[in-house]
């Protein structure tokens, strides 16, 4: 049996973690070995991030595909993706907690107007700003999966009013839940800070657009804010830029973009009320990923069962 890794983590040499967790198995690092035409006939398992198109379909004995991150849209971009092979997303407390840290940080930054205080600091200007408390602010969590529910729980602890929206009805303690198209407008109308952690599908592509922005409340405790750490394809950046320019949005925090890296000439860099991070809200820990994959393979080999399977029809 062989394990194929098609991952590029900025050159970090941590692939030995897979050898450590699976010492009896052959581990093929595709990024390093592809020029030597390695024998892939015995590959049963593949761990991938933005895999080379057609690579997965070329593996004759492939049994399971593992995403190296929480998202799987990068795998569905492969037009030759074999849809009859189980696809598993990465779920790990380290990744989940990192995402929640980032989301909570961004909500607090906008609540406490930290960017304005930063500007005043550089100007040596002492000024107290009026600001609401967390309980006056309504946060709308778009996506109530593992990441969204964890972030919602921590925002509740901070005292925010937390609402949540998902395609299908869910029940989350301490969260007012909305679902489906019928509940979307009511949800948006109660979202002073809109947090998007949705997977990228045909339905969510471009969902953060001008039409959505117009449905956010303009009379809340703060001007509407959009926070996106889900997928860059969910946002229409031209619409977000226009809304920042005309005041429809009071601010944004963006960790993902339509094209990455974000272009040097993008206006998003220059808005004082925009917080830009380079897709680092929740990076995968290689050691945790290796343990996760090894555990899943052991379970699959003994029981034929897997955790955190992706619905191939829905795409998440």
Whether 167 is catalytic is no
288 and 224 part of one domain: no
Distance CA 258, CA 207 (A): 12
77 and 99 part of one domain: no
User: Whose CA is closest to 65, among 298, 295, 293, 314?
Assistant: 293
The CATH number for 298's domain is 3.40.50.720
Give the pLDDT of residue 158.
97
Structure tokens at 132: 């609401």
Give the pLDDT of residue 13.
56
220 and 129 part of one domain: yes
Asked if residue 256 is part of any domain, the answer here is yes
Beta partners for residue 64, in sequence order: 45
112 and 86 part of one domain: no
Residues 6+ apart with CB under 8 A from 265: none
Distance CA 294, CA 288 (A): 10
171 and 216 part of one domain: yes
125 and 56 part of one domain: no
Distance CA 251, CA 59 (A): 46
Among the listed residues 12, 279, 299, 314, the single catalytic one is 279
Q: How many other CB atoms are found less than 10 A from the CB of residue 43?
A: 23
- Phi/psi region, residue 49 (left: phi>0; alpha: psi -120 to 50; beta: rest), is beta
Are the beta carbons of 305 and 299 closer than 8 angstroms? yes
Distance CA 175, CA 90 (A): 25
Residues of the chain with pLDDT under 70: 9-14
Q: In whole angstroms, what separates CA 187 from the centre of its chain?
A: 20
Asked if residue 313 is part of any domain, the answer here is no
Counting the structural domains of the chain, the total is 2
Are the beta carbons of 47 and 5 closer than 8 angstroms? yes
Asked if residue 9 is part of any domain, the answer here is yes
161 and 265 part of one domain: yes
Give the pLDDT of residue 10.
55
> Tens digit of pLDDT for each residue in 24-58?
999 999 988 999 999 999 999 999 999 999 999 99
160 and 88 part of one domain: no
Range of the domain at 76: 2-92+284-303
Asked if residue 314 is part of any domain, the answer here is no
261 and 189 part of one domain: yes
57 and 145 part of one domain: no
Give the pLDDT of residue 169.
94
Asked if residue 15 is part of any domain, the answer here is yes
Whether 74 is catalytic is no
31 and 102 part of one domain: no
98 and 67 part of one domain: no
Give the pLDDT of residue 175.
97
Among the listed residues 89, 110, 138, 231, the single catalytic one is 231
pTM over 0.85: yes
């Amino acid at each position: 049996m062989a394990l194929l890794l098609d991952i590029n983590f900025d050159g970090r040499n941590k692939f030995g973690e897979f050898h450590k967790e699976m010492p009896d198995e052959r581990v093929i690092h595709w990024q390093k070995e592809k020029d030597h035409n390695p024998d892939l006939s015995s590959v049963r398992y593949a761990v991938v991030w933005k895999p080379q198109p057609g690579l997965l379909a070329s593996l004759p004995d492939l049994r399971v595909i593992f995403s190296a991150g929480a998202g799987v849209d990068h795998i569905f971009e492969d037009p030759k993706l074999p849809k009859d092979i189980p696809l598993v997303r990465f779920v790990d407390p380290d990744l989940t907690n990192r995402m929640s840290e980032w989301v909570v940080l961004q909500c607090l930054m906008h609540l406490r107007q930290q960017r304005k205080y930063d500007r005043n600091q550089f100007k040596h200007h002492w000024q107290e700003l009026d600001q609401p408390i967390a309980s006056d602010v309504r946060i709308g969590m778009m996506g109530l999966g593992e990441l969204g529910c964890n972030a919602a729980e921590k925002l509740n602890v901070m005292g925010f009013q937390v609402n949540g929206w998902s395609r299908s009805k869910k029940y989350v303690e301490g969260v007012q839940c909305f679902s489906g198209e019928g509940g979307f407008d009511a949800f948006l109308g109660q979202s002073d800070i809109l947090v998007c952690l949705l997977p990228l599908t045909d339905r969510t592509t471009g969902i953060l657009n001008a039409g959505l922005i117009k449905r956010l409340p303009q009379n809340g405790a703060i001007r509407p804010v959009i926070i996106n750490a889900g997928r860059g394809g969910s946002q229409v950046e031209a619409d977000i830029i226009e809304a920042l320019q005309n005041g429809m949005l009071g601010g944004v925090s963006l960790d993902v973009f339509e094209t990455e890296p974000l272009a040097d000439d993008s206006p998003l860099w220059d808005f004082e009320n925009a917080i830009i991070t380079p897709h680092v809200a929740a990076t995968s820990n290689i050691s945790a990923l290796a343990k996760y994959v090894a555990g899943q393979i052991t379970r699959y080999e003994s029981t034929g069962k897997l955790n955190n399977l992706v619905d191939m029809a829905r795409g998440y």
